[in-house]
Amino acid sequence: MSQAALATSPSSGGGSGRPSPWRLFAANRLAAGGLIVLAAIAVLVLLAPLLPLPSPDATEPANRLLRPMSDGYLLGSDQLGRDILSRLLHGTRTSIAVGLSATLVAAVIGSLLGLVAGYAGGRSDNLIMRGIDMLMAFPYILLALAIVAALGPGLMNALLAIAVVNIPFFARNIRGVTVGLVHREFVDAARLSGKGDLSILLTEVLPNVLPVVVITMATTVGWMILETAGLSFLGLGAQPPQADLGSMLGEGRRQLFTAPHVSIIPGLMIFVLVMSINLMGDGVRDLLDPRLKSGALGRPSARTDVASDRAKAATAQEAATALLDVDGLTTEFRVGSEVYRAVGGVDFELKAEECLGLVGESGSGKSVTAMSLLGLVPSPPGRVVGGRVAHRGEDLLDVSYDRLRQLRGGSFACVFQDPLSTLHPLYTVGDQIVEAIRAHQALGYRAAHAKAVELLKLVQIPGPERRMEAYPHELSGGMRQRICIAMALANDPEVLIADEPTTALDVTVQAQVLRLLNRLRMDKQAAVLFITHDFGVVSEICDRVAVMYAGRIVEVGPTEELLTRPAHPYTRKLIDCVPVLGERERRLDAIPGLPPAVNRLPEGCAFADRCPQARPDCRRGNITLDRLGDERSVRCLFPLLSSEKQRVS
């Protein structure tokens, strides 16, 4: 779901709408299973001293190597007649305690080094990281063995050795994250506010780094338990008679053939323990990952899910001539038990060579509408649950994935807001245009290259041959957007979807790009769906305008008419928000309040809480999109041009 759309939800700030972290975690069954197994093990080992079990070190030579289920020995006995169940529970407790302690020591020291290196930079960074590099240059297990050999065998020394060899892992991770953070605007703002380095490090950088530390700990603690067990297995960790899982395994290997249960039981416990910790760690990582915690723990599929039983609107007569006919398009996002209806039944048609502007505040559903047309809304959590998108009579929501791939970049092309994130940073712009051409046309590299140069000329890039070799970061913002437009035009699309293509550009470049888009639309006879929140841009390029609010179109009509005589109070308010050069005395009229959350839309008119014309009737029933003359429609019971309204539904 678009960030803006979620931002309009009252629950996004931690209210009741968004599912709790625990519910998101429970949705990941493997992680939840890991947690349950781990909790069961933890309860058992914590209760071990209270259970009616013999001492783990008490030997009983007369009862050596008894099989499991023997009288008084549930899991049998070892070579000294010690109760394996008792040693297993106490040994597991020791292994978990050592593994957790080693993880904590490595995390604290490693993260501290990473934080200081990443924040200080320069010589300090060099000094710390070269020290870390030296540690990493030694073979991992050899280094641990060398440390234990130097300090002497023992559980505490094994803990220190494991912690030391894992410090570089934390330091490198945290340094990388810190370097990315220290040049961010919020850190600059903290500096400007007069905060010192220590304060910035603790209050600005550390809170942003902590989730990474937790994720790294959760995914490495199982590994540390294994390493500790490995040292004990070699006789360098727990010393007799103390039990831990590694030492039990090491002692049992001598009876591997005569009494295999002595080594198999601790081996199984290590496996179950490490697996449960790793599964749980993966769940914690997914939960803390900001890209995944929005509700979907799965990865998005290549096209938006479409409900097979979705309601389809009947084809309207007048839409038969349209190039693109959208009827009742409804797209939802499911986040836990909440349903965010970002697009709530959108209807519009786009005629050949026409430019239709889709206008509205952030979160009104413009971009989700455009993305739904080509199945580009991520699923999960997104899903199209209603409507049809007819392109020359073919419903794009029903076509096969192969057909959809033909249409994407072929008959339909997109230009997005930020060209820097659209273009691949590691390929030259020439290679990227050539790739776009060859994805849809059977051309050799030379022919595609020549066509790419032509496209660069078409979008008025100076020195096109030379620019073909440039990387995106070597070009200005306006130039990059022209490259994106060239790529979009590479296969002569019938429909160009431009999603705020000029928002990231300064005004002079914005005007150039708009003029270019307008000219190319005429030359290439392409229809344009132009998404923007800027009425100035709309008046420049659009033939018709559709105004969206809370996921629905509330007014549609020819640009000039709609801008000079808006019928919907929301359109009126949007126009009043636009400053006009030279009219200093004109009062800018901000719209009070915020759009409603799309998971809790009110009954009746969604704009009622902000509308100066609202009356009691506005808060009841469904408000339909009604005709207001030949080319205009409005979703309002009391439109500003009410005398012209003709109710048709």
Binding-site ranges for ligand SF4 (CB under 6 A):
568-569, 605, 607-608, 611, 613-614, 618, 623, 636-638
Q: How far is the CB of 360 from ligand SF4 (least distance, A)?
A: 14
Q: How far is the CB of 14 from ligand SF4 (least distance, A)?
A: 30
The neighbouring-strand residues paired with 527 are 495
Cα gap 273→467, rounded to integer Å: 57
Q: How far is the CB of 590 from ligand SF4 (least distance, A)?
A: 17
Contact 373, 34 (CB under 8 A): no
Cα gap 518→498, rounded to integer Å: 12
Cα gap 255→574, rounded to integer Å: 82
Instruction: Sort strands 552-558 and 495-499 into parallel, antiparallel or unpaired.
Output: unpaired
Contact 49, 94 (CB under 8 A): no
Helix (H, G, I), strand (E, B) or coil at 554: strand
Q: How far is the CB of 374 from ligand SF4 (least distance, A)?
A: 31
**Which of 17, 566 has the CB closer to ligand SF4?**
566
Q: Taking the CB of residue 256, how many other CB atoms lie within 10 A of it?
A: 11
**Which of 31, 591 has the CB closer to ligand SF4?**
591
Contact 229, 270 (CB under 8 A): yes
Q: Residue 388: CA atoms inside 13 Å, Cβ hemisphere, count?
A: 17
Q: How far is the CB of 596 from ligand SF4 (least distance, A)?
A: 12
Q: Closest Cα partner for 178 from 216, 121, 131?
A: 121
**Which of 471, 638 has the CB closer to ligand SF4?**
638
Q: How far is the CB of 362 from ligand SF4 (least distance, A)?
A: 20
**Which of 521, 635 has the CB closer to ligand SF4?**
635
**Which of 614, 641 has the CB closer to ligand SF4?**
614
Cα gap 638→627, rounded to integer Å: 13
**Which of 5, 608 has the CB closer to ligand SF4?**
608
Query: Please, what is the Cα angle at 443 between 440 and 449, to 5 degrees?
Result: 100
Contact 215, 156 (CB under 8 A): no
Residue whose pair of structure tokens reads 């639309």 in the numeric block: 521
Q: How far is CA 348 from the centre of its chain?
A: 30
Four-residue CA torsion sign, 634, 637, 643, 647 = positive
| First vs last C-alpha separation in the chain | 31
Which tokens in the block code for residue 583? 């009219």
**Which of 514, 605 has the CB closer to ligand SF4?**
605
Q: How far is the CB of 622 from ligand SF4 (least distance, A)?
A: 11
Residue whose pair of structure tokens reads 């605007």 in the numeric block: 185
Query: Please, what is the Cα angle at 36 between 33 and 42, to 5 degrees?
Result: 140
**Which of 261, 645 has the CB closer to ligand SF4?**
645
**Which of 250, 566 has the CB closer to ligand SF4?**
566
- Single-letter residue type at 346: V
Alpha-helical runs (H) found in 489-643: 507-524, 535-541, 559-564, 569-576
DSSP state of 593: S
**Which of 266, 345 has the CB closer to ligand SF4?**
345
**Which of 258, 649 has the CB closer to ligand SF4?**
649
**Which of 387, 596 has the CB closer to ligand SF4?**
596
**Which of 65, 614 has the CB closer to ligand SF4?**
614
Q: How far is the CB of 531 from ligand SF4 (least distance, A)?
A: 22
Q: How far is the CB of 528 from ligand SF4 (least distance, A)?
A: 28
Q: How far is the CB of 426 from ligand SF4 (least distance, A)?
A: 49
Q: How far is CA 113 from the centre of its chain?
A: 29
Cα gap 336→330, rounded to integer Å: 19
Q: How far is the CB of 626 from ligand SF4 (least distance, A)?
A: 11
Cα gap 217→582, rounded to integer Å: 60
Contact 489, 524 (CB under 8 A): yes
Q: Closest Cα partner for 543 from 556, 532, 558?
A: 558
**Which of 375, 569 has the CB closer to ligand SF4?**
569
Rg (the chain; Cα; Å) = 33
- Single-letter residue type at 477: G
Q: How far is the CB of 545 from ligand SF4 (least distance, A)?
A: 17
Q: Taking the CB of residue 225, how many other CB atoms lie within 10 A of it?
A: 27
**Which of 248, 554 has the CB closer to ligand SF4?**
554
Q: How far is the CB of 563 from ligand SF4 (least distance, A)?
A: 18
Cis peptide upstream of residue 380 (ω within 30 degrees of 0): yes
Q: How far is the CB of 281 from ligand SF4 (least distance, A)?
A: 50
Q: What percent of the chain is helix, strand and coil (3-state, nearest 5)? A: 50, 15, 35
**What is the SS3 string spanning 232-248?**
HHCCCCCCCCCCCHHHH
Q: How far is the CB of 645 from ligand SF4 (least distance, A)?
A: 11
